[in-house]
Structure formats: C-alpha cells, structure tokens
C-alpha cells in the first residue's frame, strides 16, 4: 500500500516536468548587443529567439536544432549559426573519386546558418574534416562527435571572437572559422 502511494505521488510530481519548456543556453553576440537561444515548447515545437536587452528582435518558429546544440548570433542580429556537436550519422555515400574511401556516415550536416526567413546555408562534416582525418571522428550508435572541447572531447570549445567569427577545432586538431 505504501509503495503504490509512493509511486502515485512520484508520477504526479513528474508529470509537470514533462510538459515544461526547455531552452538552450543563451549566447551573446561579439559586440554584446544580441542574444540567441532555442526554446523547446514540446516535442517538435520550438522557437529560435534573437533578442536585445529591450526585448525580442525576431523569432523563427521552427526546430533548427536541440537545446544541447551551440548557437551563435551575428553582431547585427540578422543571422545565427547552429553547430551540432553530436551530429546524426549520414546515410548517403558521397560520390567522387576523392570520397571513395569515405564512409556514408561522414556525409552529415554539422552546422547550419539561419536568418529571419529560415535556413540560409549548411556545412557538412567533410567541409571541415579531410578524408584522411575521418578516422579521428568519434562514432556512437547513431551519432558522431566531431568537435573538440565539447561532449567530453578534450580541447578548446567553439568560441565567438571579437571580430564576429566562430573559431573551433575539429577532432583532427585543425582550426576552422565560420563567418556570418
């Protein structure tokens, strides 16, 4: 009897937590004017919010990533880069002679740029990792780790520079930049 009452109380306490919205960590632009974050209201219902201190500047009602992904906003607040440190594995093999030895899982999107109207561009793993460095990428069941400094991978994490560029290192210890 006591056990069933305890289970009932615990399930009632857990129910509100299931319906609560979650959000990504808010990140600030290089000039300190804008912030960006993703708010997940429910499964499949999200809002990307770009705001100033005075309030929201624009929102995009679309799940552009998850709450654990990395978001960076430009100095003018018009563009946002989303980086997926735990990217899903690709399923389509790349064509071309230079990709002959590259597995299909390496053909995956690892970063996307968004504006007020939606997606502007994307970057794939092979934009940052050469075919010879693919073996450095850490594979999990359905995902892969490709960035240093996040998710337990040693190194320096992605950062926004004063010049408004995103600098990061891939698991092969090569430095890269994304510009807005």
CA-to-CA separations, 94 to 91, 137, 145, 149, in angstroms, rounded: 10, 17, 19, 28
pLDDT of residue 94: 81
Using alpha carbons, select from 126, 125, 122 the residue that is nearest to residue 112: 122
Q: Which residues of the chain have pLDDT under 50?
A: 5-6, 8-17
Measure the CA–CA gap between 110 and 6, rounded to whole angstroms: 44
Residue 1: its pLDDT value, please? Answer: 56
For every residue of 111-160, DSSP letters joined together read EEEEETTEEEEEEEGGGTS-GGGGGGSEE-SSEEE-BTTSTT--SPPPEE
Cα-based distances in Å from 71 to 14, 93, 98, 171: 29, 28, 32, 20
Host H or E run for residue 46: strand 45-52
What's the pLDDT score for residue 18? 53
Q: Which two tokens stand for residue 75?
A: 């100095």
Task: Check residue 154 and give its pLDDT.
Answer: 92
Looking at residue 41, what is its pLDDT? Answer: 95
pLDDT at 97: 83
Q: In a 10 Å sphere around its CB, with 0-12 CB exposed, 13-18 middle and 19+ buried, how is residue 12 labelled?
A: exposed
Token pair belonging to 176: 């890269």
Q: What is the pLDDT of residue 19?
A: 61
């Amino acid at each position: 009897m006591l056990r069933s009452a305890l289970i009932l109380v615990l399930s009632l306490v857990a129910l509100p937590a299931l319906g609560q919205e979650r959000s990504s960590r808010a990140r600030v632009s290089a000039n300190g004017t804008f912030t960006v974050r993703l708010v997940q209201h429910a499964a499949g219902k999200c809002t990307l919010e770009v705001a100033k201190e005075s309030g929201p500047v624009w929102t995009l009602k679309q799940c552009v990533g998850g709450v654990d992904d990395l978001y960076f906003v430009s100095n003018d607040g018009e563009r946002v880069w989303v980086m997926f440190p735990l990217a899903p594995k690709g399923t389509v093999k790349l064509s071309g002679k230079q990709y002959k030895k590259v597995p299909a899982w390496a053909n995956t999107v690892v970063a996307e740029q968004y504006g007020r109207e939606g997606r502007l561009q994307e970057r794939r793993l092979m934009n940052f990792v050469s075919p010879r460095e693919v073996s450095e990428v850490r594979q999990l069941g359905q995902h892969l780790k490709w960035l240093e400094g996040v998710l337990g991978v040693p190194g320096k994490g992605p950062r926004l520079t004063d010049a408004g560029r995103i600098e990061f290192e891939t698991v092969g210890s090569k430095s890269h930049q994304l510009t807005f």
